Structure formats: structure tokens, C-alpha cells
Amino acid sequence: MAAPKKGRRPAGGQGSPGRVLVMFLIAMVALTGGMFWSGHTTPRLGIDLAGGTTITLKAKAEPGKESAVNETNMNTAVGIIERRVNGLGVSEAEVQTQGRENIVVNIPRGTNEKQAREQVGTTAQLYFRPVLTAQQQAMDPKATPSASPSGSPSPKPSASGATADKGKGEKDGKATATPTASATTQGRPVSEALKAPSPTPTPTGKPKASETPKAPANGEAALQQKFATLDCTDPEQRVAAGKSAKPTESTVACSTPENGVVEKYILGPVEVDGKDVDDAKGAFDQQRGMWIVQMQFTDAGAKKFQKITGRLAQQQDPMNRFAIALDGEVVSAPSVRQTLSASAEISGNFTQESAQDLGNILSYGALPLSFETQSVDTVTAALGGEQLQAGLIAGAIGLALVVLYLVIYYRGLSLIALPSLLASAILTYVIMALLGPAIGFALNLPAVCGAIVAIGITADSFIVYFERIRDEVREGRTLRPAVERAWPRARRTILVSDFVSFLSAVVLFVVTVGKVQGFAFTLGLTTLLDVVVVFFFTKPLMTLLARTKFYGNGHPWSGLDPKRLGAKPPLRRSRRASGPAAGPVDPKEA
């Protein structure tokens, strides 16, 4: 008779349960340590729990131009609204698309609701203004901005494409003088230039001297004083500088910071409106091997553009620059090198992303997109705190009932279920805390409800496994083989059940908008964690405890007492006789 092979694993079992358990605990400790190391030790709370304002906007298109409401333009609108919300001085505001035509803006408490609605509910204002005066300011007061000794491009624009570089400021290796007496302009290397596309001949014609842009006589001193005191390194001043200016008036404005430098301007009246832009897009120039922004103007816009660029092309820096101002903030200020008409391109240090972003911004000013406010929900901090407290109390009651049921019905097996629940709770909390800064996940009230529902899903997985083990014990098997034989059947049931829950969460997340997505996300996350905990914590722990006397011998309080379970007599293997039995022979059979 062949001897059984040593080290053979039982069917459906896991090898080295102690090693699996230790690795799981190490991973859990590492995640917890990462939470403390990042400094984000609490989950980020949503507006309905922390307090604040939620504004839901719906995009509308003019009749016959419904195609304007598309993913690209909606994302551009989100970027514009984010700039506006940030201009309110709030922190941790959220602006995101939901569905095809909805934008949801979540503004934490402390922001005036009326001001927020005015900022996010209006169409973007895109204007082209001539630059009258420009001056650099270093974001670090100790640093002194300096001009590049050559006409080489400055470092690349910011990733958003909202850079305001961008005048040449130099000629033949020498900085040119600024033709303004009231303010100084520090030279800046050529980063962007506005010119006609290469294949298109440009109109000619010399501008009249009287057409040189100048600041209006009325209020010029006040404007120069405002320019002198403007500090564009201050975020609040930078955003608010040009917002209140009328299109027919000159104004001061700031660029967005780039490489530690920001630029402030005096800008002339609006010469071209954003609605005069027919189309704009970022494109790659194969001949020059660089990204550019191509613009097409309407017939009326082409006439305006030709007139103003004809004047600017004859000016010295910075008065040959044409500022593109979005909601009062300069996103680009390229220099004009020639008279332009219906077509133009902006070249410079663009990346693919920055070129496409600037193209979208220019296009958005001409698109027939407007937004109507669908709903405005304001939650005070006190009400949010009450809702959070109520959710935590409901969760605690649900957890207590589950624990009570496990202790009464499963007795000693609850010592396996309760640590498993605790491990699942720790992982859920830590991952939610880490997802806040990572992807902007915010724990709202529906998400808390999802976590409460997850308690029942997790407990159900333990119950399925325990009942499979009990079935094996009722068949007369001892505990150690019962644990291993029950696992394949329990595993299959658990995976099917969790797959259905996860699929439901995914469908709910995709087809819904608003706060319901928080419930779906939490439900899906906890379902995945349930699988991880059952496979890598509950099962190895059960295998190890089955080797102890308390569980292995079926102690009455272990929850696995064969007598209480009504077990059959122990299963025994039948043995074959190896030969004839020894003994006296019956004389009758002789």
C-alpha cells in the first residue's frame, strides 16, 4: 500500500495560512502608516456633511447649434468655472461634469451664496485688448526678474495653457525701451507670437499715426496709480484686477503665474470680442515641429482684427502685444508681427495640452453655450454636523445588532467574524481618507449609507462560510478537513454575491448624477474590500484556529459543537482484509 505524499494540500485549501495572514496585516499597517504620513487622517467631507453650497448648472445651446454641448466644450466650461470659484478665495471647491449637459459646483461653507451664483452661472467673457503697459513681478519677492539676453523662448507655459508671456522685449540682443513714461516694462523673451498662417498672404498697409492705442485722457492718472499699486503676486488682487472693467474702457489686469513670474498690464479698450472668433484649436506644425494655436474669425471679426493688428504690428514692445483676457485675467499676450485678417496663429512654447487648452478657451468665447441654474442647495455647518452624527449613530446601531447576532448564534465563531469586520472597517476608513487628496473623493451622507449597507454585505460573507463549515461538521467530518472542504463552495457563493453587488454599484454610479454616486462608489469599494478580507484574513484565520483544541474538539461554546449541530456518526474509511482470517476451521466446511 503506497504511503500518502507529505505536504499535499487539501482540496480547496490555502497553503501557509500564517504567511497569508501576516502579509495582509503588513499591507494594512502600510496603508495606515501612509495615511498618517500624508497628514490626511480623516476622510474629506462632502458639502452635505461639512456645510456649503451646491449649484447645479445645465448647459443650453442656441437653436440649430445643439452640437456645441459636447464633452470638449463642457470640460472647457469646467475649467473656466474653476477659475471663477478659485477667485472667490475658497478652498477645496469642486467643479465637475455630471452626465452630458450638467455641471455641479460644490463650494464649502464660508462663501456667499449670491456671489457664488453670480460667478458660476454666467457665460465666460473673452476679450482681445491691446497692451499699453506691461511689467513683470516675481512671485518670490527676493527674486528679481530679468530679461533673456537673446530672443530665445522662455520656459514652457503652464500645463493649463493659461500663460501670459509674452512679449519679445528685445531686438538684436538688446532690450528695447518701453514707450511709456509712467511705468517701466521689463523685457521678456519671445514665447508667443501672433501672425498669419504661413501659406496665407497677409494684407499690407501702414497704419496712421493717430491710430496708435493710448490710454484715455479721462482717468489716466487714476489708472496709472491703480497700475502702480497693483500687486499681481496676491491671488485676490490678481483675479479681481480686470473683472469690473467695461469693454469700452481701459483697465489693469494680471497674467497667471509662470515659472515664478507674473505680469501686470494696462490694457486698452476691447478691440475684438470673443464672439468674433469662429473657430480655434491647437494643432501641430509639421514643418516647424511645434504646437501652435490656429484661429479663424468671422467676417466682422476679421475686419476688426485686421484693423487692430495693422496698428500693433508697427509698435514697439510692449505696445505691439495683443492680450487675450478671459473673465478679466490675461491668459495669453502674444506679440503681433504683421497685419492679420481672417486667419491667425499663435506660436510659442506650447505643449500639446497647453495649445489645446488655449484653443478651447478661444473657441468657448464664440460658442453658443449658456448655463441655467437647475438647483442651489445650501447646508449649514450645524445641519451637516447633525446629519453626520445621525449617520454615525445609525451605523453604530447596525453594527451592534450584527455583532449581537453573531455572538448569540455563532458563539466562538464570532471571535473570527468580529476581527474580520474590524479589518474591513479599518481598510475602508484608511482608503477613504487617502482617496480624498488623491482623487477628490468626498464622504457625503449617501456614502455613509453605503458604508452602513456594507456591514450587512460583509457579515453575510462570513455567515456563508460558517454555514458551509457547519454543514461539513453535520456530515460527520472533523473540523480541519471541514474547513478546507467548505471553502470552495463558500468561495463560489461569496464571489457570485459580491459580483452582483459590485455590478449594481457600477451601474448606479454610471447612470446617476449627484450625491447618489457617493452611495454607489462606497458600495462598490466596500464590496471589493469584502472579497479581500474574506480571502486573505477570514479564511487563513479560520484555518489556524481550527488547529486549536477549543475549535478542533468542538467545544460547546465554539459554535461548532457536533452534538448541538446534530452531527452524524464520524465518517470512517472501510478497510480491505489483507488475507484470510486466522482461526479454527469449521469441521463442516472441511
Give the tens place of pLDDT for each residue, 399-443.
Answer: 888 889 888 988 889 889 999 999 999 999 999 999 888 877 878
Question: Is the same domain home to 296 and 394?
Answer: no
- The verdict on residue 400 lying in a domain is yes
Strands, E, within 88-142: which ranges? 94-98, 102-108, 126-138
| Mean pLDDT score, 490-501 | 93
Question: Is the same domain home to 148 and 75?
Answer: no
- The verdict on residue 10 lying in a domain is no
CA distances from 448 to 389, 442, 521 (A): 11, 11, 11
Proportion of the chain in helix, strand, coil states, percent, rounded to 5: 45, 20, 35
Question: Is the same domain home to 529 and 440?
Answer: yes
Question: Is the same domain home to 387 and 346?
Answer: no
Which of 66-80, 365-379, 511-525 has the weakest average pLDDT? 365-379
- The verdict on residue 584 lying in a domain is no
What pLDDT is stored for residue 525 in this prediction?
Answer: 92
What pLDDT is stored for residue 188 in this prediction?
Answer: 34
CA distances from 57 to 30, 122, 251, 365 (A): 41, 10, 30, 18
Q: Which three cell numbers stand for residue 542?
A: 479560520
Which of 65-69, 519-523, 583-587 has the weakest average pLDDT? 583-587
43 or 385: which carries more pLDDT confidence? 43
Rounded CA separation 116/377 (Å) = 12
Rounded CA separation 56/54 (Å) = 7
What pLDDT is stored for residue 155 in this prediction?
Answer: 33
Report pLDDT digits (tens) over 164-206: 333 333 333 332 323 332 223 233 333 456 666 654 444 444 4
The yes-or-no verdict on residue 453 having pLDDT over 50 is yes
Backbone dihedral region of 384: left (phi > 0), alpha (psi from -120 to 50 degrees) or beta?
alpha
What pLDDT is stored for residue 140 in this prediction?
Answer: 74
Residue 5: how many other CB atoms lie within 10 Å? 6
Question: Is the same domain home to 149 and 205?
Answer: yes
Per the prediction, the chain carries an average pLDDT of 76
pLDDT band for position 530 (cuts 50, 70, 90):
very high
| Mean pLDDT score, 314-322 | 88
Q: At what angle do helices 479-511 and 516-533 cross, to 10 degrees?
A: 160
Whether residue 457 contacts residue 501, with contact meaning beta carbons closer than 8 Å, is answered with yes
Rounded CA separation 445/350 (Å) = 43
153 or 587: which carries more pLDDT confidence? 587
CA nearest 567: which of 499, 477, 492? 477
pLDDT band for position 486 (cuts 50, 70, 90):
very high
DSSP string across 480-528: HHHHHHHHHHHHHHHHHHHHHHHHHHHHHHHH--TTHHHHHHHHHHHHH
Number of domains present in the structure of the chain: 3
AA identity, residue 113 = E
What pLDDT is stored for residue 86 in this prediction?
Answer: 64
Max mean pLDDT among 215-224, 245-254, 365-374 falls in: 245-254
Whether residue 445 contacts residue 387, with contact meaning beta carbons closer than 8 Å, is answered with yes
Report pLDDT digits (tens) over 532-574: 999 999 999 999 999 888 888 888 888 888 888 777 666 555 4
Question: Is the same domain home to 298 and 170?
Answer: yes
DSSP string across 207-259: PPGGGS----STTHHHHHHHHHH--TTSHHHHHHTTTT--TTS-EEEEB--BT
Count CA atoms closer than 13 A to 470's CA, side-chain side: 19
Report pLDDT digits (tens) over 82-119: 766 665 555 556 788 887 888 888 877 655 555 666 66
Q: Residue 454 maps to which CATH number? A: 1.20.1640.10
- The verdict on residue 1 lying in a domain is no
AA identity, residue 25 = L
Last-in-domain residue among 343, 378, 413: 378
- The verdict on residue 459 lying in a domain is yes
CA nearest 53: which of 373, 372, 371, 369? 373
Q: Residue 110 maps to which CATH number? A: 3.30.70.3400
CA nearest 134: which of 11, 315, 309, 310? 315
Question: Is the same domain home to 149 and 72?
Answer: no
Question: Is the same domain home to 184 and 309?
Answer: yes
Tell me, what DSSP letter sits at residue 139?
A: S
Question: Is the same domain home to 467 and 390?
Answer: yes
Question: Is the same domain home to 393 and 432?
Answer: yes
Which of 6-10, 109-113, 355-359 has the weakest average pLDDT? 6-10
411 or 207: which carries more pLDDT confidence? 411
- The verdict on residue 9 lying in a domain is no
- The verdict on residue 337 lying in a domain is yes
Question: Is the same domain home to 234 and 343?
Answer: yes
The yes-or-no verdict on residue 138 having pLDDT over 60 is yes
Question: Is the same domain home to 195 and 338?
Answer: yes
18 or 577: which carries more pLDDT confidence? 18
459 or 120: which carries more pLDDT confidence? 459
CA distances from 401 to 39, 358, 404, 454 (A): 34, 57, 5, 14
Whether residue 340 contacts residue 193, with contact meaning beta carbons closer than 8 Å, is answered with no
Rounded CA separation 168/312 (Å) = 13
Instruction: Provide the domain limits for residue 560.
Output: 19-45+380-565
281 or 488: which carries more pLDDT confidence? 488
- The verdict on residue 590 lying in a domain is no
